[in-house]
Structure formats: C-alpha cells, structure tokens
Amino acid sequence: MKSNKTHTAKTFAAVLFWLFAAGSAFSQSQHREISRGKEKKLVVSMDIAFGSIILEKGDKDKIAIIDYEEEKEDDHKFQVGYDVDGETGRLKVKLKKSKSLWNDDNDENRYRRITVKLTESLPVWLDLELGAGKGDIDLTGIQLKDLKISSGASSIELRCDQPNRLSAERIEIESGVSKFTATNLCNVNFRELKFSGGVGAYKLDFGGELTQDANADIEVGLGSIVVYIPKEVATKVIYDDNWFSSFDLDRGFKKRKSGVYESVSDDGGKLLTLKIESGLGSVKVKRK
C-alpha cells in the first residue's frame, strides 16, 4: 500500500513538473512602456499579420503600454517603434506573418496575443491592419480623431461605451472574409463613416449619443449585415435596391420616395444619414 501511495505521489509530481515545463516552453512575453513627454497628438500605425489583438484605454501618463505573448519556439518578428516629430508622437507596432500558412486558428490566437493600451490624454489618429486573427477594440475613453481599420480573414469586435470627447474626422472600416461587430458607434462622434464589407457577417450598432449630423456610407458585397438604430435618433436611410440582394426595413421608417426612408425622433435632434449598397447579400435595418 505504501509503495502505491509513493508511486502515485511521484507520478503526480512528475505531471505537475511537465505541465510547468510545457507552459514555460510554450509562452514568452515582451513588455514595453512609453512615457509621455511634450507630445500634443499621437499617430498610431499597427500592422498585425496574424494573431489576437486587444486595444483599450491606458494610463494618462503613458503614451502606450504594450504586451506581446507567443510560443517560445516561434520566430515571429514583433517590432515596436516610437519617435517624436515636433509635437507629434508616432507609434508603430508590427508583427510579421508566420512561416506556416495553415495553422490551427485557436492555437494561433492563443499564443500570439498583443495588448495595446493607449493614452487617454492626447488626440489619437489610429490605423489598424489585421490580416488574420481576432480583434477586441475598445475605444472607450480614447480621444479619437481618425480611425482606419482594415481586416482580412478575421473576427473583430469594436465598441465605444462613452461619448468621444473629440469630433472624429473620418472613420473608415474595410472588412474582408470576416466577421465584424460594432457597438455604440454614435459614441465615436464621427462626421463621416465608411464601411466596406466583402464576404462575411456584419453587425453595426449606432447606439450611443449623436451630438452632430453624421453620414455613414455602407457597402456590402457577398454577405449579410444588420444595422441597429436607436428609436430616439432621427435617421434617413438611402438604399440602392437591386435584384440580387434582400432588404428588410423596420416598420418605424416611412418611405419618402423610391429608395429613401426616414424615421423622426421625438426630440427633433441631429440627423443620422445611412447610404446602403449591397451586391449579393442581405440587409436588415432595425430600430431598438
């Protein structure tokens, strides 16, 4: 009996050691903090070939806090560069593509993870390119002036849970063979938004606070898109109808003329204008 207990204990200890060794072999990390100087605005460029990226608000005294994790045996080249040109800080984050083009999606996203926390104290111009992987983009608390997102075979969730303190000059989103979900887009406080979808499933939620007249140009190729609009937001929908796509509009809208529909808010506030085009897919516009 004693020998069995001893054997079991040794086996258990060996398993624990193996798990610890395996964990240390499969994971390595890099950490970078960039302190704030005399910058008055921040331009961010991120080129991520493959992996999982988390972007959110960080420390007001730091330009950025960046963490990167990957498998130790990988040879991916992760690069972070920062320089100041006059009053403009320029942050560049880049992760080159894996040598193996056919990898298990879960393993890739698990062991190639980038977390970027941006300052809440400066106006930010953000350009993000994600080839394949996952993106969790939380713009809450970031003073956004300009946003461009380009994604390939990826899944991205974007949200903004509080009104942007600045007026965003331009929002441009290109989504390829992918899934894209955006929540509380009106909180981004944009004037012009352009969304281009290729083949995928898309959800655009224009919730939040609309503080200025805004225009959104939405184009979808071969895919489905659902657009959510709060009942309190005055909205005009312009839809370019064709024989190859389906269009489903909530009963809260009234047809003004061919291809033009309107819903009037109770408070007569600012106007959100949506121009929607679809190639071969389905479009649904719902009030919530």
In angstroms, rounded to a whole number, what is the distance separating the alpha carbons of residues 279 and 277? 7
Answer whether 163's CB lies under 8 Å from 188's CB. Answer: no
Looking at residue 18, its pLDDT comes to: 37
Looking at residue 105, its pLDDT comes to: 44
Looking at residue 279, its pLDDT comes to: 85
pLDDT in tens, 132-179: 999 999 999 999 999 999 999 889 999 999 999 999 989 999 998 889
Answer whether 260's CB lies under 8 Å from 253's CB. Answer: no
Measured in degrees and rounded to the nearest 5, phi and psi for residue 19 equal -65, -40
Residue 126 amino acid letter: L
Taking phi over 0 as left and psi of -120 to 50 as alpha, with beta for the rest, 287 belongs to beta
pLDDT in tens, 58-83: 999 999 999 999 866 555 689 999 99
Q: Which of 162, 175, 166, 47 is nearest to 116 (CA)?
A: 47
Looking at residue 109, its pLDDT comes to: 43
In angstroms, rounded to a whole number, what is the distance separating the alpha carbons of residues 241 and 249? 12
State the CB neighbour count (10 A cutoff) for residue 3: 7
In angstroms, rounded to a whole number, what is the distance separating the alpha carbons of residues 242 and 265? 29
Beta strands in the chain (DSSP E): 28-35, 41-57, 62-70, 78-85, 88-95, 113-118, 123-138, 143-159, 170-183, 192-205, 214-229, 234-240, 246-249, 254-257, 260-263, 271-278, 282-287
